[in-house]
Copies of this chain bind each other. A is one copy, B any other.
Amino acid sequence: MIHYNMTTPSPDDPGAPLGFAKHDHHACVTDALSVAEARCAEEGLRLTPVRRKVLEILLREHRALGAYAILDLLREEGFGSQPPVAYRALDFLSENGFVHRIERLNAFVACTHADEAHSPAFMICRLCDTVAEAQSAPARGALGAAAKAAGFQIEKTVVEAEGLCPACVDKAAS
């Protein structure tokens, strides 16, 4: 039950959060799209119109959206509006590292480190659903030791922290 409002922030709204910091969101979106296009060209991946549009939506919104919320936005832009349309695009994008799935929210967020290979960790605000991406190396710590001891071969890790973002901490304090 993610309670997104459906309105898209004006693309050059300087107050939109990347992670939790203010930034030039318009450049942020166009840059990330360029990077994605370049990488697809290099690697022979097909960034088709639907896939590109889904990535653009997630970049614009800059927070986790459920597949059905994405589907609503796709419909508004004239694309197919059945669930597989969104899920297939999201599969492509997440298999190739352009978006990440947030297990805790059953939702998706655009990657903010589109280039390098990485093992992401997320900070999820339980009040405003904002999501920030950080790096993690869980296999190096206690978990890695436990896995080694148990003979378990780690292939992928999910790390998601839930709590309060800076803005909501302030609100709660007042």
Contacts and interface: CB of A to CB of B under 8 A. Distances in A.
Given A104-B103, A138-B161, A139-B161, A169 B153 contact: yes
Given A146-B121, A146-B134, A157 B161 contact: yes
Nearest to A21: B150
A2 to B, nearest CB: 14
Contact of A137 (B123, B136, B141): B141
A80 to B, nearest CB: 24
Contact of A135 (B142, B157, B169): B142
Contact of A142 (B136, B152, B154, B160): B136
Contact of A123 (B134, B135, B152, B165): B152
A97 interface: no
Nearest to A146: B134
A84 interface: no
